[in-house]
Amino acid sequence: MSIKTAIVTGAGTGVGKAIAKALLTSGYKVAIVGRRKEMIEAAANEIDPSGTNVFPVSADIGDFQAVAGLFEKVKAKWGRLDLLVNNAGVGAPAIPMEELSAEQWNAVVASNLTGAFFCTQQAIKIMKAQSPRGGRIINNGSISATTPRPHSAPYTATKHAISGLTKSTALDGRPFDIACGQIDIGNATTEMTAKMATGVLQADGSTAVEPTIDAKHIGDAVAYMASLPLNANVLTMTVMATQMPFVGRG
């Protein structure tokens, strides 16, 4: 195979950008995707100043037509797709669930779940038809895919659903050499986790500062998952700050 190609959603900042960097180092050509055009282009210039191996594409992954257009652009540019990383995600305000609006709920579902499904559909279509056949899909589940934080119902519900999407994709992709796995991340240092340095609400009602880890570790883990041959798969992997309150009862 002459080139390896990847799409990473939510790649303008944080974990997504760290994943794109790691894949670039591993020899991939990477399409980085986000809603804000200027942010995606700035990230592309940062991680690939030459502009030859990173392709910035602005798209709202909650929009079916936008997703179809995104995958058409990548296929037209590089001819194939070897890896999709469904990383994009948003949260809702940390308020009691009965106070959330329908718009807030729908925005989280559209980004975290519907967008991942739309991207998975388009990736499978390309991976089934290309030669050599197959590819890999890696979903960002977050440790919220198993354990919630207080006041996180929309985010937690969508991340639990991602676990189901991962398993269904792994099963349905089997006959076509399409592998699917999930990485569950605990407290990578990003803009989203900055508040942990000053304290966040815990399940017992207290507020506590939580440790974080460099997002580079997440990028490296995804690059490892992507390095496997298609007859091997990491179905689930958890990468977390060792001393964060997750294992056990806090």
- Is 224 catalytic? The answer is no
* Domain presence at residue 248: no
* Domain presence at residue 250: no
* Domain presence at residue 246: no
CATH number of the domain residue 111 falls in: 3.40.50.720
Which regions in the chain score pLDDT beneath 70? 1, 192-194
* Domain presence at residue 132: yes
Q: Are 84 and 74 in contact (CB under 8 A)?
A: no
* Domain presence at residue 198: yes
Tokens matching residue 31: 């399409």
Q: Are 187 and 212 in contact (CB under 8 A)?
A: yes
Specify the pLDDT at position 196.
77
* Domain presence at residue 59: yes
Helix-helix angle 153-173:115-129, to 10 degrees = 10
Specify the pLDDT at position 209.
86
| Distance (Å) of CA 40 to CA 31, 44, 60 | 10, 6, 12
Specify the pLDDT at position 54.
97
* Domain presence at residue 44: yes
Catalytic hit among 155, 159, 179, 182: 155
DSSP state of 148: P
- The tens digit of pLDDT for each residue in 9-35 reads 999 999 999 999 999 999 999 999 999
Classified as helix, coil or strand, 209 is coil
Report how far Cα 190 is from the mean position of its chain's Cα atoms: 14
Sign for the pseudo-dihedral over CA of 86, 40, 34, 122: negative
Q: Are 107 and 95 in contact (CB under 8 A)?
A: no
Tokens matching residue 119: 């991207």
Tokens matching residue 209: 């500062």
Specify the pLDDT at position 203.
87
> What is 94-108 written as a DSSP string?
SS-GGG--HHHHHHH
φ, ψ of residue 90 to 5 degrees: the values are: -135, 165
Structurally, the chain folds into a number of domains equal to 1
* Domain presence at residue 204: yes
Torsion angle defined by CA atoms of residues 13, 18, 21 and 22, in that order, rounded to the nearest 10 degrees: -160
The domain of 200 spans 4-240
φ, ψ of residue 127 to 5 degrees: the values are: -65, -35
